[in-house]
Amino acid sequence: MPRSLAPAAVRVGDESDSPAWATWPQRGALMRISARNRLKGTIVEVTKGATTAHVRIDVGGSIVTASITNDAVDELGLAVGVEAYAVVKASDVMVAVED
């Protein structure tokens, strides 16, 4: 897909309690997303690699790490101290207990 047609990075936030809302910065439009697991927190670390960045978000004392493109980090303005949402969309969730 040509870069000009590629979807922009998504900014996620609450626009009431349902559903999840996101803006599409390059087009200035709102869209809804199906992910229901939105964990609001504060970015505590951003580590960029050659093409992929690891973004660590403190969510109530627990750290959630996301692997996203460096372009997405730049487009979203992600940096330490910025409030952000970890949006989780998974088809399976495993549960484990200690013996």
Q: Whole-model pTM?
A: 0.65
Task: Please give the residue range of the domain that contains residue 52.
Answer: 8-88
Segment holding 88, helix H or strand E: strand 83-88
What would the two tokens of residue 93 be? 């969730």
- Any domain includes 94: no
- Any domain includes 99: no
The pLDDT of residue 19 is 47
Q: Provide the domain count of the chain.
A: 1
Q: What is the mean pLDDT of residues 71-78?
A: 94
- Any domain includes 48: yes
The enclosing domain of 16 has a CATH number of: 2.40.50.100
pLDDT digits (tens, 9 = 90+) for 54-70: 999 999 999 999 999 99
* DSSP conformation class of 21: E
- Any domain includes 96: no
Judged on CB neighbours under 10 Å (0-12, 13-18, 19+), 70 is middle
- Any domain includes 70: yes
The pLDDT of residue 20 is 52
**HSE (CB half, 13 Å, CA atoms) of 55?**
27
